[in-house]
Amino acid sequence: MRSVLITLLVASITFTLTACGRTSSPEGRMSIKLEQLQKEMRDSLKKQNEAILDTLSRIRQDLNRLERKVK
């Protein structure tokens, strides 16, 4: 009888610990969604920044070429 109770207790604790993950609550799921959204925004901003820097570099090259032609 005692071993049955211990087994049930261990199973109960195991079930409780595995059921309490981040995805088991609305707050946990929301925090996961927010983290994903933040990552997507960072990635998007990084790509935009790279495009802007690339464009500025090309503009600088064009200006340098124009300056050499004027001299």
Q: Report how far residue 11's alpha carbon sits from residue 63's, in angstroms, rounded to the nearest whole number.
A: 73
Give 11: exposed, middle or buried? Use CB within 10 Å, 0-12, 13-18, 19+.
Answer: exposed
pLDDT tens digits for range 10-19: 887 777 766 6
- Under 8 Å between Cβ of 23 and 32: yes
What pLDDT was estimated at residue 18?
Answer: 65
Please count the structural domains in the chain. Answer: 1
- Residues 32-51: tens digit of each pLDDT: 999 999 999 999 999 999 99
Range of the domain at 9: 2-70
